[in-house]
Amino acid sequence: MSADKKLSKALEQVKQSVDDFSERELTEELRELLEYGVPPDQAAETVIRRKGRSDPAAAAGEKKLADAVPGERGLTVEARVLDRRDRTIKVKGEPREIVSGSLGDETGVLSFTSWNEFPFEEGDAVRISNAYTREWNDRPELQVGDYTEVEEIAGEDLPPAEELSSPRDVSIRDASRAYRPRVEATVIDVLDRSGLVMRCPECNRVTEGGECSEHGPVDAEPDLRIKAVLDDGDSCIQATFPREVTESLTGVTLEEAEEMARKAMDRGVVQREMERVVGRAVVATGRVLGDNFVALDVEEPESSPEDDARELLEALQ
């Protein structure tokens, strides 16, 4: 089936279920899904589901970032660009340049993807009009599409970028809403595949038996990490502690971990050493990627007045 035929087939299907949207808008969303190789039936279902979830009668209008929800259209926001990454993806076998990154305002943070040129840098204040959102990892993601306008603004009403990207104390439940969430929590579990892992030097993926799933047999390099579960009493999240954080939390360096494994002739000893952090209270600052909290810094919580009192009593006894 030709691309045009697929598009018109999917469009017909969508128009039978939703009718309060412009054909142009439906076409744009369908084309994007089809370009990713989604079959026409499935693309149609996806668009019907998205449209069904939002209020089809009204465009979203101007909102703060924290109020954005998946499935909106006609959304306008004013925000600062906190970071941007240029990526090349394959669309129908052809490379296409896209830009993705994070936007921030005083209420929170929102990921975005731009399918067109996005000539703005970190710290720039922008007004984005007529954008739409979709759902990504249970969160809305703002899409800058063909009918979206982006203009640079003075941004006097927006906090400076340094403030927006500095750590914010939040609960685990709200961690994905902050650019640099800082949570106070307890490590309640250390998951398998913690400790010594081997990584592909090309793509950083963890290798199995010296083989990368992407690059085949490689000269893998050792790394130390912990995959854990953090719990703040209200909710929990899976967390990854990269090497530096793992080293400072456990007091075990990568070199020492390698020595440990060599002596025992078993990498499992390092895993068990990592499991000793279960029960530790931590203040972790990081970034939520998908459903994973990547800890960039971990500190001990400041002791509470109760702890101080107990220590004092213990010292007096």
- For the chain, how long is the longest CA-to-CA vector? 84
Q: Which of 23, 214, 219, 291 binds Zn ion (CB under 5 A)?
A: 214
β-pair type (125-136, 139-144) = antiparallel
Instruction: Output the smallest distance, CB 215 to Zn ion, in A.
Output: 4
Segment contacting Zn ion (CB under 5 A): 143-151, 201-209, 226-234, 275-283?
A: 201-209
Q: What DSSP line would sit under 187-229, residue for residue? A: EEEE-SS-EEEEE-TTT-PBPBTTEETTTEE---EEEEEEEEE
Segment contacting Zn ion (CB under 5 A): 30-38, 113-121, 204-212, 247-255?
A: 204-212
Structure tokens at 165: 């990207």
Q: Which of 97, 146, 202, 259 binds Zn ion (CB under 5 A)?
A: 202
Our measurement of the distance from residue 145's CA atom to the centroid of its chain's CA atoms, rounded to an integer in Å, reads 21
Instruction: Output the smallest distance, CB 293 to Zn ion, in A.
Output: 24
Q: Which CB, 45 or 211, lies closer to Zn ion?
A: 211
Of 230, 126, 103, give the one whose Cα is nearest residue 179: 103
Q: Which CB, 62 or 214, lies closer to Zn ion?
A: 214
Phi–psi pair at 148, nearest 5 degrees: -90, 140
Segment contacting Zn ion (CB under 5 A): 60-68, 176-184, 203-211, 240-248?
A: 203-211
Instruction: Output the smallest distance, CB 218 to Zn ion, in A.
Output: 6
Interaction residues for Zn ion, span 259-278 (CB under 5 A): none
Other CB atoms closer than 10 Å to residue 289's CB: what's the count?
A: 12
For Zn ion (CB under 5 A), the number of binding residues is: 7
Positive/negative CA dihedral, 146, 152, 153, 159:
positive
Q: Return the beta strands (E) in the chain as ranges.
A: 61-62, 75-91, 94-105, 108-114, 125-136, 139-144, 149-152, 168-169, 181-190, 195-199, 211-212, 216-217, 221-231, 236-241, 281-289, 292-299
Q: Which CB, 121 or 214, lies closer to Zn ion?
A: 214
Q: Is position 215 an interface residue for Zn ion (rule: CB under 5 A)?
A: yes
Q: Which CB, 84 or 205, lies closer to Zn ion?
A: 205
Question: Given the structure tokens 């469009």, which residue do they identify?
Answer: 11
Q: Which of 66, 203, 278, 289 binds Zn ion (CB under 5 A)?
A: 203
Question: Given the structure tokens 């530096």, which residue do they identify?
Answer: 244
Distance CA 210, CA 121 (A): 39
Q: Which of 10, 79, 128, 200 binds Zn ion (CB under 5 A)?
A: 200
Instruction: Output the smallest distance, CB 217 to Zn ion, in A.
Output: 10
With CB atoms as reference, the residue minimizing the distance to Zn ion is 200
Q: Which CB, 208 or 234, lies closer to Zn ion?
A: 208
Q: Which CB, 66 or 203, lies closer to Zn ion?
A: 203
Note whether 182 and 168 are within 8 A (CB): yes
Q: Which of 142, 170, 212, 226 binds Zn ion (CB under 5 A)?
A: 212
Q: Which CB, 214 or 311, lies closer to Zn ion?
A: 214
Segment contacting Zn ion (CB under 5 A): 115-123, 173-181, 215-223, 270-278?
A: 215-223
**Binding interface with Zn ion (CB under 5 A):** 200, 202-203, 205, 212, 214-215
